[in-house]
Amino acid sequence: MSTCLFCRIAQGEIPSKKAYEDEEVLVFHDINPAAPVHLLMIPKEHVDNLLAVEPRHTALLGKMLALAPRLAREQGATDGFRIVINNGPDGGQEVYHLHMHVLGGPRPWKRL
Ligand code: AMP
Ligand code: ZN
């Protein structure tokens, strides 16, 4: 069994409120939202963060970025959104499984 929180969510061992799923990607609602819409988009494959990304991940990362506007809109962020990716200790990363925060909804909301 994986000890990584987001691997366990991806494997369904820990429940999440899913917004999107395919073979490679899972999107779920952040448990402690910083904005009216706060999604977390993860690759199902474990990658620590952008510092650990390899050339073979390029297409997957592009796919994730391209998915974000659609999901943000579907979840109610109709007037724009922000993508945040925290990397490493100085990047404020808490969960070491690559994730894109997709933040939107009426402002003002907490800065991340
Ligand atoms: P980061 O600081 O970029 O590593 O962000 C980790 C995010 O994961 C935080 O926004 C947390 O609120 C969120 N989080 C932690 N545990 C869970 C969980 N079980 N389900 C959903 N989101 C979570
Ligand atoms: Zn993981």
Residue 65 has pLDDT above 60, yes or no: yes
Structure tokens at 16: 């999440």
The reply to whether omega before 108 is within 30° of 0 (cis) is: yes
**Among the listed residues 44, 36, 40, the one whose alpha carbon sits nearest the alpha carbon of residue 27:** 40
The verdict on whether 99 is a catalytic residue reads: yes
Q: What is the mean pLDDT of residues 57-62?
A: 98
**C-alpha to C-alpha distance for 27 and 5, rounded to whole angstroms:** 14
Q: How far is the CA of 111 from the centre of ligand 2 (A)?
A: 25
Cβ–Cβ under 8 Å, residues 41 and 71: yes
pLDDT band at 1 (very low <50, low <70, confident <90, very high): low
Q: Which of 29, 57, 97, 99 is catalytic?
A: 99
Q: What is the pLDDT of residue 99?
A: 98
Residue 95 has pLDDT above 90, yes or no: yes
Ligand 1 pocket, mutate which of 3, 38, 39, 94 (most atoms under 8 A from CB): 94
**Among the listed residues 49, 25, 35, 50, the one whose alpha carbon sits nearest the alpha carbon of residue 82:** 35
